[in-house]
């Protein structure tokens, strides 16, 4: 169960409590679920009871106790515990490795994406909610701005805005991709038109450019520490990684080290791990066997199960570096798995080999999908 799916489960619990007359509140549009804080437990926690206490006219602890049995009965929930002033802590049922691998291979590189709209721009009438050509009132490179309508996940459209600086534009581009993967509708704007080579080399674009007298509603500024040097000579993949891998408040390092194919280069390890998973599939085909999900145990399983949460958190905090670091961790676990996937010597392929191959293919899919969200290619051969 992804954080977005759990959020919907929480909202369904509220709706059932309202339908049964236990609570008299308006069901909110969104329930926030996060990692448990100090004193919490389980996999996730929500403050929905504290949010509803005042409109319900009940103490938050009472609201939490009302919601607890409704959540405990939900599919995929193992346990529900109320702590503190009314925080609801939720433990999820363990995902069997075979089921997890099947889900990843079924969803492909969209594993971890929220269900529903993914934020592709949809043209509406030119008049936005304030009677202008969109929130900022400037023309984009493809004609008048487009009002994109309400956001099904966050309630309203998210407007990202950045300075005319190369790292800011790249980070904003990655943040927009992450938000769209979680069902948000997003517009991007820059103080001035990005340089032509930024788009040509780095694959970035913005919906509109220019400034307005006042910020647009729900405008979020993207302000990472600027790049200390021109990253364009690194090429698209290495340049984007150099700008996205450090946290936004850290100074990025622009050097040829990002191009070196060795273990000390995190980008190389991620792309190499992906390429190794593809090579395993080719080699297995030569040996006459295919992948078949099974309940094989390996540390990479927990990392793959955590991928949807990482995407949701990276989007919520506008932090593509969280995804980049997660991919490095997955890659390191994959490289530890690789030697045990194929039969050795005269050994014949077994169910375990097929299950390990399926797990490796699932991990490669996660690596490819994560790199794609960062705007980076995942080649099958290195």
Strands 158-162 and 186-190: parallel
pLDDT at 117: 45
- Which tokens go with 144? 């008048």
- Which tokens go with 208? 């509109």
Nearest to 355 by CA among 305, 302, 280: 280
Distances (CA, A) of 150 to 177, 201, 314, 318, 333: 18, 33, 22, 20, 40
pLDDT at 214: 63
Q: Where are the domains of the chain?
A: 3-92, 266-373
Distances (CA, A) of 208 to 177, 186, 212, 345: 16, 12, 11, 60
- Which tokens go with 207? 């919906």
Determine contact, residues 278/357, Cβ cutoff 8 Å: no
Mean pLDDT by 10 residues, the chain (382 residues): 82 93 91 83 89 94 95 88 93 80 95 64 28 34 31 62 96 96 92 95 92 68 95 97 97 95 95 98 95 89 88 92 96 95 90 95 98 97 88
Distances (CA, A) of 285 to 204, 288, 290: 38, 5, 6
Burial of 213 (0-12, 13-18, 19+ CB in 10 A): exposed
How far is residue 91's CA from residue 82's CA, in Å, rounded to a whole number?
12
- The counts of H helices and E strands in the chain are 12, 8
* Cβ neighbours of residue 105 closer than 8 Å, sequence gap 6 or more: 291, 293, 358, 361, 362, 365
pLDDT at 346: 85
- Which tokens go with 299? 């540390």
* Cβ neighbours of residue 98 closer than 8 Å, sequence gap 6 or more: 293, 294, 295, 355
Q: Does domain 266-373 have CATH number 1.10.730.10?
A: yes
**Dihedral angle of Cα 226, 228, 230, 233, to the nearest 10 degrees:** -120
pLDDT at 357: 97
Distances (CA, A) of 368 to 60, 92, 296, 371, 378: 43, 27, 22, 5, 5
**CATH domain 3-92 topology:** Gyrase A; domain 2 (3.30.1360)
pLDDT at 382: 85
pLDDT at 211: 74
């Amino acid at each position: 169960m992804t954080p977005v799916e759990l959020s919907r489960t929480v909202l369904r619990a509220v709706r059932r409590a309202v339908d049964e007359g236990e609570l008299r509140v308006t069901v909110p549009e969104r329930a926030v679920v996060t990692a448990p804080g100090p004193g919490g437990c389980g996999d996730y926690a929500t403050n929905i009871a504290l949010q509803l206490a005042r409109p319900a006219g009940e103490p938050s602890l009472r609201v939490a106790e009302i919601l607890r049995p409704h959540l405990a009965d939900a599919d995929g929930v193992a346990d529900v515990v109320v702590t503190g002033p009314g925080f609801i802590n939720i433990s999820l049922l363990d995902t069997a490795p075979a089921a997890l691998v099947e889900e990843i291979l079924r969803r492909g590189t969209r594993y971890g994406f929220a269900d529903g709209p993914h934020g592709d721009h949809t043209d509406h009438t030119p008049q936005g909610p304030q009677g202008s050509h969109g929130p900022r009132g400037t023309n984009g490179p493809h004609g008048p701005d487009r009002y994109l309508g309400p956001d099904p996940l966050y309630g309203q459209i998210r407007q990202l805005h950045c300075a005319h600086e190369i790292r800011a534009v790249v980070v904003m581009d990655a943040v927009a991709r992450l938000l769209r993967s979680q069902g948000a509708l997003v517009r991007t704007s820059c103080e001035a038109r990005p340089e032509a080579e930024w788009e040509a080399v780095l694959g970035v674009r913005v919906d509109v450019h220019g400034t307005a007298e006042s910020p647009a509603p729900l405008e979020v500024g993207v302000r990472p520490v600027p790049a200390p040097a021109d990253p364009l000579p690194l090429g698209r993949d290495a340049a984007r990684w150099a700008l996205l891998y450090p946290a936004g408040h850290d100074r990025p390092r622009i050097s040829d080290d990002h191009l070196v194919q060795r273990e000390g280069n995190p980008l190389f390890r991620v792309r190499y791990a992906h390429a190794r998973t593809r090579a395993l599939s080719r080699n297995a085909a030569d040996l006459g066997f295919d992948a078949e999900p099974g309940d094989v145990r390996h540390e990479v399983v927990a990392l793959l199960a955590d991928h949807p949460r990482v995407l949701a958190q990276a989007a919520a905090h506008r932090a593509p570096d969280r995804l980049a670091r997660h991919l490095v961790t997955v890659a390191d676990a994959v490289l530890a798995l690789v030697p045990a996937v194929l039969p050795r010597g005269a050994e014949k392929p077994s169910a375990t080999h097929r299950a390990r191959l399926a797990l490796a293919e699932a991990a490669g899919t996660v690596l490819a999908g994560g790199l794609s969200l960062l705007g980076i290619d995942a080649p099958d051969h290195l």
